[in-house]
A and B are shown apart, each in its own frame.
Chain A
Amino acid sequence: TPIQNDLTEFYNVA
């Protein structure tokens, strides 16, 4: 089953 990624793995929290 594919694992759901989190947006913070791709973008920095400002």
Chain B
Amino acid sequence: MLEGKFEEASLLKKVIESIKDSVKLCNFNCSQSKGITVQAIDDSRVLLIALKIDSGSFQEFRCDRDLVLGLDLESLSKILKQGNNEDYLTIIAEDSPDSLLVVFEDKKKDRISEFSLKLMDIDSDVLTIDDMEHDCSITMPAYEFAKIARDMKTLSESLQIIITKDSVKFNAEGQIGSGSIILKPHTDMEKPDESIKIELNQPVVLTFGAKYLNDIVKATALSSTVTIKLTDKAPALFEYRLPSGYLRYYLAPKFDD
């Protein structure tokens, strides 16, 4: 049996809102040691989502036996919208479940609402992603990266990211013209999350689809900072930290013909 209680429903709501536009169907793997893990690839096979909600993200978590919950995220999102952000949220599943029970408890009122979501058998490819050294890593405020991704998409379908020791440059060239935004590393002592940190083994220039970057920044509400790891001619990793766990996106780059 699985029983996971979140202190606030908002965490799972934000996670599902962050990924449901990229992947519609996915398997939630549940285990006592790892909590909930998900790997899912978008239909175009350009963007991969790797989610880990550790048991530490829950107020209470028990999973007697490893379980796979096949979920339609659009349907789960509809059910999660029934509860308030501050409610306790408990998800419950039997050992061979055909449905997931979702329970909201209002902390002030005596109101308990229960919903049952039908589960599905989902056959999905899993990619083997080894931990690897990256050429560079940038940590920056999540809202700032979101603004850049959204603004630059209005100029071009592609966004080039150029990292050097001294700066990170976002470059877009489109039909109406071009634009660039340059950020320099700095440390904000009073608000550490406002800092911009660059770690560099070697400079990198990579180009990504603006559409996919805009899918990724839907996770902005989850974390105050985003870490972007880049390697020449390889997919990029965008990581949003959860209170205990992470939401990672792997995005395949574009290459010049």
Question: A-side interface residues toward B, CB under 8 Å?
Answer: 1-14
Q: Does B48 contact A (CB under 8 A)?
A: yes
- Mark B198-219 against chain A: 1 for CB-CB distance below 8 A, else 0: 0000000001010000000000
* Contact (Cβ within 8 A) A7 B128: no
* Contact (Cβ within 8 A) A7 B256: no
| Residues of chain A within 8 A of B133, CB atoms compared | none
Interface size class on chain B is 20 to 34
**Distance of A10 Cα from B130 Cα, bound (Å):** 11
* CB<8 Å pairs between A and B, sample of 15: A1-B158, A2-B158, A2-B254, A3-B256, A4-B209, A4-B254, A5-B254, A5-B255, A6-B46, A6-B252, A7-B48, A11-B128, A12-B128, A14-B127, A14-B128
Chain B 116-156 interface residues, beta-carbon cutoff 8 Å to A = 125-129
Partner of B235, one of A1, A7, A13: A7
Q: Does B234 contact A (CB under 8 A)?
A: yes
| Residues of chain B within 8 A of A10, CB atoms compared | 234-235, 252
- Shortest Cβ distance from residue A9 to the other chain B in the assembled complex, whole angstroms: 7
- Mark B70-103 against chain A: 1 for CB-CB distance below 8 A, else 0: 0000000000000000000000000000000000
Given contacts A2-B158, A2-B207, contact A7 B127 (CB under 8 A): yes
* Contact (Cβ within 8 A) A1 B257: yes
CB-based nearest A residue for B234: A10
| Residues of chain A within 8 A of B47, CB atoms compared | 7
| Residues of chain B within 8 A of A6, CB atoms compared | 44-46, 252
- Shortest Cβ distance from residue B163 to the other chain A in the assembled complex, whole angstroms: 17
Partner of B45, one of A2, A8, A12, A14: A8
| Residues of chain A within 8 A of B250, CB atoms compared | 7, 11
- Mark B205-241 against chain A: 1 for CB-CB distance below 8 A, else 0: 0010100000000000000000000000011000000
Q: Does B185 contact A (CB under 8 A)?
A: no
CB-based nearest A residue for B158: A2
CB-based nearest B residue for A1: B257
- Shortest Cβ distance from residue B19 to the other chain A in the assembled complex, whole angstroms: 16
| Residues of chain A within 8 A of B207, CB atoms compared | 2
Q: Other than the known A7-B47, A8-B45, A10-B235, what 6 A-B pairs have Cβ atoms closer than 8 Å?
A: A2-B158, A2-B255, A3-B256, A5-B46, A5-B252, A7-B235
CB-based nearest B residue for A13: B125
**Distance of A12 Cα from B48 Cα, bound (Å):** 13
Which of A1, A6, A11, A14 lies at the interface centre, i.e. has the most chain B CB atoms within 10 A of its CB? A11
